[in-house]
Structure 1
Amino acid sequence: MLAEPLLHFPALQCPANQRVESMKPTLLVLIHLNDASRASVAAAYDVIYAPDPDSRAEAVAAHGATVRAVLTNGTTGLTPAEVDRLPKLELISALGAGYENLPLDHARARNIVLVNGAGTNDNCVADHAFALLLAVVRDVPQLDQATREGAWRDTLPMRPNVSGKRLGILGLGNIGQKMARRGAGFDMELGYHNRKPREGESMRYFESVTALAQWCDFLLIATPGGPGTKHLVDKAVLDALGPDGFVVNVSRGSVVDTEALAAALRAGTIAGAGLDVYEGEPHLPASLLELRNLVVTPHVGGRSPEAITASVQNFIANATRHFAGEPVLTPI
């Protein structure tokens, strides 16, 4: 796919005697936005649209002196060096919930406000996690292919139930809680692991990821990315999950050790996996390409028309409040 060109949506020209403060703030957008989202943002901001590496570098060089806000996401991020080239920067926003590649300490040292899209795509991600879980446990992609090739059920292996099993959730934040609600609808026994137990939570808590994996049939990953969770799901966790266990990751690819997962899937150490995220995005690791007991999607768990609209509106609300001198809604 050809990279999108740098696009500049200028503010309306003002009469010479109009106050400068009434001009739109300059916003640097570093992620892809659809036309409707871009138009919504451009109604209030002078948008510099730079969703690919080349236009990004050009935008920082050409417009860095005027940029007052940046819209990015946790994967695309913003570097400390780029922040240093944006002397008027006041606001950095991650469109979704993740913010692992934002320079938090560097920004805070300059009193730059940091926000994210917490809560805007939780339902979409939780839905997608269960779509992956159902697809891999019930072998939906393989059954679809076999049916198209003329196979009938008597020649195909039976697959286990999803209902009534033990569901382990790694990361009981907003998305993890939505997963738990869906699991309850499937009559599942629920357990979770966080860095510490959630106050007032009745769901069973496990002190370690390994203990959770040893207990559950299905391990759903909804923990944040970043150095603190890199390869949190490793060989030991996969061994604990066992040959009848399944893992689904809709958080960040870095949370799962790719080579350990590939080895476990090849050897039958675990039964299967569903991944919406993976290390080396956008390129699927070669070690995963030929695995039959794996269902993959291209990091679309948080993407739906409803979720994107809510995320963009959340950004606009945060930015409007910030530039009006009011507290933001979803600070990091």
Structure 2
Amino acid sequence: MPTYTSAQAREQSTPITGEQILRVGPVNPTVAESLKSEFASLVLPDSGPEREALIASHGQNIRVAVCSGRIGVDSELMAQLPNLEAIINFGVGYDATDTKQASERGIVVSNTPDVLNDCVADTALGLYLSTLRSLGAAERFVRSGSWAAGQNFPLATRASGKKVGILGLGRIGQAIATRLEAFGCEIHYHNRNQKPGVNYQYHSSAVDLAAETDVLIVAAAGGPQSAKLVNQEVLAAVGPQGFVINIARGTVIDEQTLVEALRSGGIAGAGLDVFEKEPHIPAELLELDNVVLLPHLGSGTHETRADMASLTLNNLRTYLEKRELITPIS
């Protein structure tokens, strides 16, 4: 059987069959059911001899992979699929996929932008309020009986009227900013490049952004370019009165340095929906009352997950019919 580059493979006129579509890892239940009933796709076992056997028997024939943003198609798997043409990704993030290899081979990749902007921004706002006003700790205070026993809960921090720095003013970052404007917040931001037509104050580095604001909200895309972008220098600039909110990717923050800053009082608090090695969270964070911890639920609503599933499947259908994607990554 001849071996094609992915770009050459797309020039083939032969239809793509179910045995040429591979589901990689767990995916949204609606997507999983459609892959099974509508497309009769293959499912890659997680590990072991069954996985090796499937790759040995079908790897040469796979032309489309469907995955979640958390699992992706990594370097090793992609190299085992020489005729892969397209990766259909459920989720806006795709840092688990080797996009460098995909680009070199002409493999196109889709994600699910826009449909989750509002819910992720809502989650950021919830974390913002809960972290600054210590709402999670306050609820635990009530449930523990401390209030009924006559104790007073410590004072928290005002959430309205703050200077808020948004690290990554993309679609989600902009949605967060719009919400915070209603709280009278002054919005600042840092991107690789200043955005035209944006009235918020731009800062040329993450350090400068953190130094000039009260709260740093991390909304940057994941991947190698942003790994540990929020490092010791940035956290020192946040300072002992400042807060960090992260709804982006756990890898964007130097997690151990963040733990130390929270433990030592280097920063006032943090609200985290994402972690470096999900679902595993540093044990030290579980013991701290100045951090709010969520199980990566940014887009976790019935409505948004349904929209994401629909867009994922429409990307797949469009690729099979036209060899095009509705929402290719840039």
Q: Same fold (TM over 0.5)?
A: yes
Equivalent residue runs for 1:167-316 within 5 Å? 167-316=164-313
| Number of residue pairs the alignment of both structures matches | 313
Equivalent residue runs for 1:15-54 within 5 Å? 21=15, 23-24=17-18, 26-50=20-44, 52-54=46-48
Code of the residue aligned with 1:139 in structure 2: it is: S
CA distance, structure 2, for counterparts of residue 127 and residue 171 of structure 1 = 16
Between stretches 76-85 and 49-58, larger displacement belongs to: 49-58
User: Unmatched 5+ residue regions in structure 1?
Assistant: 1-19
Is the contact between residue 31 and residue 313 of structure 2 (CA under 8 Å) also seen in structure 1? Answer: no
- Pick from 92, 95, 101: which aligns with 1:97? 92
Code of the residue aligned with 2:233 in structure 1: it is: A
Between stretches 101-110 and 178-187, larger displacement belongs to: 101-110
Between stretches 111-120 and 211-220, larger displacement belongs to: 111-120
Partner of 2:229: helix, strand, or coil?
coil
Corresponding position: 1:73 with 2:68: yes
* 1:84 CA displacement: 3.0
CA distance, structure 1, for counterparts of residue 74 and residue 183 of structure 2 = 43
* 1:256 CA displacement: 0.8
Q: CA 1:268/1:95 → structure 2, altered by over 3 Å: closer, same or farther?
A: same
Is the contact between residue 31 and residue 312 of structure 2 (CA under 8 Å) also seen in structure 1? Answer: no
Query: What CA RMSD, in Å, does the superposition of the two structures yield over aligned residues?
Result: 2.2
Q: CA 1:88/1:326 → structure 2, altered by over 3 Å: closer, same or farther?
A: closer
* 1:141 CA displacement: 1.6
CA distance, structure 2, for counterparts of residue 51 and residue 251 of structure 1 = 28
Code of the residue aligned with 2:190 in structure 1: it is: H
CA distance, structure 2, for counterparts of residue 266 and residue 132 of structure 1 = 19
For 1:7, the equivalent position in structure 2 comes to none
- Pick from 318, 327, 330: which aligns with 2:327? 330
Code of the residue aligned with 1:76 in structure 2: it is: I
* 1:187 CA displacement: 1.5
Is the contact between residue 96 and residue 120 of structure 1 (CA under 8 Å) also seen in structure 2? Answer: no
Between stretches 230-239 and 72-81, larger displacement belongs to: 72-81
* 1:70 CA displacement: 0.8
Between stretches 273-282 and 284-293, larger displacement belongs to: 284-293
User: Unmatched 5+ residue regions in structure 2?
Assistant: 1-13
Q: CA 1:65/1:244 → structure 2, altered by over 3 Å: closer, same or farther?
A: same
* 1:73 CA displacement: 3.1
CA distance, structure 1, for counterparts of residue 277 and residue 17 of structure 2 = 41
Is the contact between residue 28 and residue 309 of structure 2 (CA under 8 Å) also seen in structure 1? Answer: no
Is the contact between residue 117 and residue 314 of structure 1 (CA under 8 Å) also seen in structure 2? Answer: yes
Between stretches 254-263 and 30-39, larger displacement belongs to: 30-39
Is the contact between residue 193 and residue 205 of structure 1 (CA under 8 Å) also seen in structure 2? Answer: yes
Between stretches 165-174 and 301-310, larger displacement belongs to: 301-310
Is the contact between residue 27 and residue 90 of structure 2 (CA under 8 Å) also seen in structure 1? Answer: no
Compute the TM-score of the two structures, normalised by the length of structure 1: 0.86
For 1:6, the equivalent position in structure 2 comes to none
* 1:248 CA displacement: 0.7
* 1:58 CA displacement: 5.2
Partner of 1:46: helix, strand, or coil?
coil
* 1:134 CA displacement: 1.3
Between stretches 151-160 and 192-201, larger displacement belongs to: 151-160
Code of the residue aligned with 1:158 in structure 2: it is: L
Code of the residue aligned with 1:32 in structure 2: it is: P
Partner of 1:65: helix, strand, or coil?
helix
Code of the residue aligned with 1:44 in structure 2: it is: E
Partner of 2:275: helix, strand, or coil?
coil
Percentage identity across aligned positions? 37
For 2:10, the equivalent position in structure 1 comes to none
Is the contact between residue 163 and residue 188 of structure 1 (CA under 8 Å) also seen in structure 2? Answer: yes
CA distance, structure 2, for counterparts of residue 310 and residue 245 of structure 1 = 35
Q: Once the two structures are superposed, what CA deviation does each residue of 1:280-305 show, in whole Å capped at 9, x if it has no partner?
A: 22211233232221111122212222
Partner of 2:309: helix, strand, or coil?
helix
Is the contact between residue 99 and residue 116 of structure 1 (CA under 8 Å) also seen in structure 2? Answer: yes
Is the contact between residue 26 and residue 46 of structure 1 (CA under 8 Å) also seen in structure 2? Answer: no
Equivalent residue runs for 1:119-130 within 5 Å? 119-130=114-125
Compute the TM-score of the two structures, normalised by the length of structure 2: 0.87
* 1:172 CA displacement: 0.5
Is the contact between residue 170 and residue 220 of structure 1 (CA under 8 Å) also seen in structure 2? Answer: yes
Q: CA 1:42/1:295 → structure 2, altered by over 3 Å: closer, same or farther?
A: same
Partner of 2:270: helix, strand, or coil?
strand
* 1:198 CA displacement: 0.8
CA distance, structure 2, for counterparts of residue 180 and residue 305 of structure 1 = 24
Corresponding position: 1:157 with 2:154: yes
CA distance, structure 1, for counterparts of residue 30 and residue 255 of structure 2 = 36
